Structure 1
């Protein structure tokens, strides 16, 4: 029975590895790559300007990139962490509700498209999920001071990977502890308090870079619902579609049925009040961990500090898998007790297989529906908003001419845009400029470069007059690369050399996933 977690963990590792090998790096992953390439001293100086909240993860990425170079090497920590998370979820569900529930929780989490996507991404969210799952498992096993100290350490790990992950970790620790008695509650509170003390200075320092998420806006109701729907879909869905809604209808139906049956159904033979309290506490802990982080960040956003993103509530996937498993366990148990109560005593021993089949059919249908949601999200790369740097580079190489301007708009929160463009155009001078500016935080929000050759593409930065750049002649054409947010007049006004139509309508416009390439043909202004 101890081998139960292995199969779901291997499934997740396989799905994530295939996805990681198939897809190129996103803009955020290119930021990870840029920071990970720095030595530790330069890395510390860089995060003092931007991305301080990701500093612990960048140290992990720095180490991984030294051990296994390349994109896959950067993604290995996420793949490994997600596999560990699946194992911990499965093991915890087995401790709470038995082997059947363990398989439900494990395979539901392993097939969740959000978990698979984050597991194959060089960002901290999969590691945060792993720390949350491990903390919940360790708390369920904890009894001694040393064991609660381990729980506190795992909470610190979760917070170091992403502070908002604690919104899912706390209910998974604290609510089930009420079912174990006052001593467990005191242990959970002590572990949480110790973790809070350790993380407080880090949280305060990270809050000093709050302007990094100033681009976020308070979500309207459809966007808020899309973020919640993304727990069984993709972190980049802009709005829930029919499959998203169907998956949530199934989950909500199972949860509601489990709640009603638990309240109205008869207890199992031999169940004590303590056992019922423990079961109720575990189920409620999973329920709060699923919806609580979303509700808290939605409320914070409504109060004036927009913070609601799918990736920020990703650890709720732990609660969702446990909630699904616990709900099916309740439903199957209630049906079993009902049928057994009207059968002869001799037939009760064989009652379980009769309702195991429909239960497993429900599990298979739910997991299949969630997987279908993920496939639909991956089918259209434009909807998934995968950053197509290769497409931008191809357009520039094919159509740009020496003397054209290249305007790169990288807002404060878009630390990977310039690095990605430099990498995929194989513009080594541009790449050196980006790397040299990173430790000092001096990457401009809008940078102007001039194309000096196209075979291969080479650009130089324009700091003054374009006429002072050797071997080029102004063409009056500008290529503007953004993340999809158009340049404003204020952006253009600060450029040392700019086309007159910089912030105006483009002559040609191309969308490459989450990137936007516009061509403006106009005279330049100094």
Structure 2
């Protein structure tokens, strides 16, 4: 039920009225390159998402590019993650807690945002859910006589296969985004809290160690591309408000479960899963700014599990005195949550929910362009509009570009030196500029972009302008020479 519930939430408004924002545009353009071109690019940029790009390339090759192909993997992954929350909750706190936790996962605002995102974060959450469920199964299988809390024991090759699957899933998640390895200290905390025996510790150390060692080359290589995340702002007290609220909610749910050392419970699994990745990313961000909620989306599995535990505890407490009324606690809670979150849910499914829309200005480009006109992009990253919809730029000449994104193994191509760009611009009568709308634009940082802006300001005048969903296209005409 949680899987179907979350899947239907994901299908609702999946296309976002045909909009695609800049992060998804990166997936879109890279997925349409050949495997050799993708590997070439990964040597220069975005190696942290390499496995995801190759996966999406295969999907685009099979089903063709489109918003459904772009986002449906995230929808399916979020449904898997919700099912894992439901299964873990059922095992540790009963069927009501499992059902409530699984349904709550799909309702969380951050989950609703990223389950319709053409990026790997929902897939990482699915991997975290599967690995956590495997860990719970393994811990339950280590009770007296090899029989766990669920009455099922794991022996011989079954035990080995489960641990191998655990390590493999952790590795796959790490290859999709190496920050997902922060789940390992969360799982370690669960092992400590539940007083796992020596055999469990030995096998967990082996499985997690192999997974980490296999992912380590990616971690080290990606450090050389850290300039990609230089735009992330330093950590501030204001940025800690969100994690503090999540931890408060999760802590309240954990208290209702009455956790204690030596007992495997929803709180012993859920609270570390929520808290440890959040706190670890905060600590990492003190060294290098990295604090973005999407990097640890998987920690919300713990929050959903703890919410489900709280609802399950309420139902158990009410059942002896109000057996009929207790059955309505979960439906009423879900209905109230849906009503409260409906405005957010609608907003997250609108084109305005993202900082921009790569496709929004394509109709204006077609309307304003004339064959032979020049085109410029400020910053050069806004060339993603052309990479995603090359047909809209047919007949235009990219006068700053020396090597295309494909040929240069980059996302935005290689541009000429500032002096050459200036000379090329002064030789043009009309130039079409694609840039950010003022609401989201930043001051030009690269020298090339400063030269582009200066030449347009001093030697050209705007004769047409259109701004749509964070993108802007302006047609400039050369000023008449002064007499």
Q: Shorter-normalised TM-score: what interval?
A: 0.7 to 0.9
Q: Which residue number in structure 1 is paired with residue 281 of structure 2? A: 297
In structure 1, stretches of 5+ residues that fail to align are 1-6, 230-247, 264-272, 340-347, 449-460
The answer on 1:387 being equivalent to 2:356 is: yes
In structure 2, stretches of 5+ residues that fail to align are 139-153
What's the C-alpha RMSD, in Å, of the aligned pairs? Answer: 3.9
Return the alpha-carbon distance in structure 2 between the equivalents of residues 406 and 106 of structure 1: 49
- 1:88 aligned to 81, 84, 90, which one? 84
Q: Is the 8 A contact 1:481 1:515 kept in 2?
A: yes
Offset, 1:138: 1.1
Offset, 1:180: 6.0
Q: Which residue number in structure 1 is paired with residue 413 of structure 2? A: 443
Offset, 1:69: 0.6
Q: Which residue number in structure 2 is paired with residue 474 of structure 1? A: 429
- 2:203 aligned to 184, 187, 200, which one? 187
Q: Structure 1 pair 35/492, CA: closer, same or farther in 2 (3 Å)?
A: closer
Q: Is the 8 A contact 1:172 1:319 kept in 2?
A: no
Normalized against structure 1, the TM-score is what? 0.74
Q: Structure 1 pair 354/61, CA: closer, same or farther in 2 (3 Å)?
A: same
Q: Is the 8 A contact 1:509 1:517 kept in 2?
A: yes
Normalized against structure 2, the TM-score is what? 0.79
Offset, 1:152: 0.6
Q: Structure 1 pair 154/214, CA: closer, same or farther in 2 (3 Å)?
A: same
Q: Is the 8 A contact 1:408 1:447 kept in 2?
A: no
The answer on 1:209 being equivalent to 2:180 is: no
Return the alpha-carbon distance in structure 2 between the equivalents of residues 365 and 506 of structure 1: 51
Q: Which residue number in structure 1 is paired with residue 145 of structure 2? A: none
The answer on 1:25 being equivalent to 2:20 is: yes
SS in 2 for 1:35: helix
1:469-496 deviation line (CA, Å, top 9, x unaligned): xxxx514x65241362232583345559
1:100-147 deviation line (CA, Å, top 9, x unaligned): 111111111123343233222221111111111011111112252331
- Segment of structure 1 superposing worse, 28-37 or 351-360: 351-360
The answer on 1:285 being equivalent to 2:269 is: yes
Q: How does 1:107-506 map to 2 (within 5 A)?
A: 107-142=103-138, 144-168=159-183, 170-172=185-187, 174-175=189-190, 178-179=193-194, 181-182=196-197, 183-225=199-241, 228=243, 252=248, 255-256=251-252, 259=255, 262=258, 277-279=263-265, 282-301=266-285, 303-333=286-316, 335-336=317-318, 348=320, 352-358=323-329, 360-378=331-349, 381-382=351-352, 384-385=353-354, 387-400=356-369, 405-410=374-379, 416-420=384-388, 422=390, 424-425=392-393, 434=404, 436-439=406-409, 443-444=413-414, 465-466=424-425, 474-475=429-430, 479-482=433-436, 484-488=441-445, 490-492=447-449, 498-501=455-458
Return the alpha-carbon distance in structure 2 between the equivalents of residues 148 and 323 of structure 1: 25
Offset, 1:153: 0.5
Return the alpha-carbon distance in structure 2 between the equivalents of residues 167 and 505 of structure 1: 52
Q: Structure 1 pair 285/44, CA: closer, same or farther in 2 (3 Å)?
A: same
Q: How does 1:36-55 map to 2 (within 5 A)?
A: 36-55=31-50
Q: Is the 8 A contact 1:125 1:311 kept in 2?
A: yes
SS in 2 for 1:315: helix
Residues matched between the structures, number: 453
Q: Is the 8 A contact 1:78 1:118 kept in 2?
A: yes
Q: Is the 8 A contact 1:156 1:199 kept in 2?
A: yes
Q: Which residue number in structure 1 is paired with residue 151 of structure 2? A: none
Return the alpha-carbon distance in structure 1 between the equivalents of residues 362 and 7 of structure 2: 32
Return the alpha-carbon distance in structure 2 between the equivalents of residues 133 and 257 of structure 1: 19
Q: Is the 8 A contact 2:131 2:166 kept in 1?
A: yes
SS in 1 for 2:13: helix
Return the alpha-carbon distance in structure 1 between the equivalents of residues 127 and 29 of structure 2: 25
Q: Is the 8 A contact 1:94 1:100 kept in 2?
A: yes
Return the alpha-carbon distance in structure 2 between the equivalents of residues 326 and 12 of structure 1: 19
Q: Structure 1 pair 200/66, CA: closer, same or farther in 2 (3 Å)?
A: same
SS in 1 for 2:258: helix
Return the alpha-carbon distance in structure 2 between the equivalents of residues 13 and 446 of structure 1: 47
Q: Structure 1 pair 14/425, CA: closer, same or farther in 2 (3 Å)?
A: farther
Higher relative contact order (CA 8 A, sep 6+): 2
SS in 2 for 1:278: coil
Return the alpha-carbon distance in structure 1 between the equivalents of residues 63 and 191 of structure 2: 40
Return the alpha-carbon distance in structure 2 between the equivalents of residues 376 and 520 of structure 1: 35
Q: Is the 8 A contact 2:375 2:433 kept in 1?
A: yes
Q: Is the 8 A contact 1:129 1:314 kept in 2?
A: yes
